[in-house]
Amino acid sequence: MILSNTSEYALRILSFMAKDPSRMYSAKYLIESLHISDKYLRRLMTDLSKKGFIKSIQGRDGGYIFDKSPAQISFADVIDAVEGIDKYTGCVLGFKQCSDENPCVLHNTWVAVREKFLSTVNQANLADLNFENIYKY
Amino acid sequence: MILSNTSEYALRILSFMAKDPSRMYSAKYLIESLHISDKYLRRLMTDLSKKGFIKSIQGRDGGYIFDKSPAQISFADVIDAVEGIDKYTGCVLGFKQCSDENPCVLHNTWVAVREKFLSTVNQANLADLNFENIYKY
DNA sequence: AATAAATACTACAATAAAGTAGTATATAAG
DNA sequence: CTTATATACTACTTTATTGTAGTATTTATT
């Protein structure tokens, strides 16, 4: 996968929640629907709360609900919060000094891929998805 | 980085060698030029030999030389040999049943990114690079 | 044949990512 | 105020990737 597992999970959870963005989702329901392990999902949800995407409601009948409008959350925001978008902005051959002015042998070719990736994850937001298919595992 | 470290190293080494594709390169020279650790580079070169990209010349004054024309080696070939291209062809949200016929919420958006990536790595080959800048560390 | 200088192989070590266990804390409901 | 049920926290375990060490093998040179 291009993204890390954790980014993949974060996007999977948040895009699942975006289908009905004003309701509260319990950890249990998300775990059963999306087949992500209990403790791993809970830890990730705590992280996403701290980053301001969602808020958690503790105690009996608690769960998670969006704290920010899904329309305000781009995929790039989520990836950046979870694993850092910087991972995806560097030289494909790993040369630190590579730049537009000082390009590596593959720079111009690769920039096109990178721009496509970045523009897509920046423009795609959680409210603008095709909800005809919502997978549950 | 989108690619694994090992893919990055493999591409760095092979594109470096492609500047002068008929000469032999010793491990020592590649290590010094590209700052990849001794044993790691050697093991990777052995793998690349087994995959048919290069051949090794053992014994005194040995080294590595292309076994196949760089023009015949695409970036996708190298990535596939080193870490498997399948990692980059799946659903961005990790749903195994996601397909054109049964798309996940992000499928159509993501296909554009994936196609750009795949077409680029398939078309880019080791002979068709811009050698104005060859970095050495 | 001996030597020197190179690659090949096998096993191990270090690191980072992913996943798990157990306890603590919070809160709605009765 | 007690209980049930939820999330939060801390530490540990597992797995995959990356990197290292040491020995064996190969071969040009003398």
C-alpha angle with apex A74: A69 to A79, nearest 5 degrees?
120
Banded pLDDT at B1 (limits 50, 70, 90) = low
Do A92 and B129 lie within an 8 Å CB cutoff? no
Residue B8: the pLDDT is 93
Question: From B119, which residue of chain A is nearest by alpha-carbon distance?
Answer: A113
Q: Taking residues B90-96, report their average pLDDT.
A: 88
Q: From residue B50, how far is each of A107, B2, B15, B47 by CA, in Å?
A: 28, 25, 18, 5
Structural domain contains residue A129: no
Structural domain contains residue A137: no
Which structural domain range is residue A90 located in?
5-123
Interface probe, candidates B86, B135, B137, chain A, greatest A C-beta count within 10 A:
B135
Q: What is the ipTM, given to two decimal places? A: 0.85
Do B113 and A107 lie within an 8 Å CB cutoff? no
Residue A35: the pLDDT is 86
Structural domain contains residue B136: no
Instruction: Tell me which residue of B77, B56, B73 sits closest to B65, measured CA to CA.
Output: B56
Total domains present in chain A: 1
To the nearest whole angstrom, how far is the Cα of B62 from the nearest Cα of chain A?
Answer: 26
Q: What is the CATH number of the domain that holds A45?
A: 1.10.10.10
A88 — contact with chain B (CB < 8 Å)? yes
Q: Taking residues A11-37, report their average pLDDT.
A: 92
The rounded Cα B98 to chain-centroid distance in angstroms is: 28
Using C1' positions and the CA of B37, the closest nucleotide is D19
Instruction: Tell me which residue of A125, A117, A122 sits closest to A89, measured CA to CA.
Output: A117
**CA of B59, C1' of C4: distance in angstroms:** 10
Structural domain contains residue A135: no
Banded pLDDT at B24 (limits 50, 70, 90) = very high
Structural domain contains residue B130: no
Sign of CA dihedral A121, A122, A127, A129: negative
Banded pLDDT at B137 (limits 50, 70, 90) = low
Percent helix, strand and coil across chain B, each rounded to 5?
Answer: 50, 10, 45
**CA of A46, C1' of C26: distance in angstroms:** 15
Residues of B in contact with A110 (CB under 8 A): 120
Structural domain contains residue A55: yes
Neighbours of A43 (CB within 10 A): 12
Higher pLDDT, A59 or B75: B75
Structural domain contains residue B134: no
B129 — contact with chain A (CB < 8 Å)? yes
Residue A18: the pLDDT is 93
pLDDT tens figures, A64-106 = 999 999 999 999 999 999 999 988 998 998 888 888 998 998 8
Q: Taking residues B110-137, report their average pLDDT.
A: 84
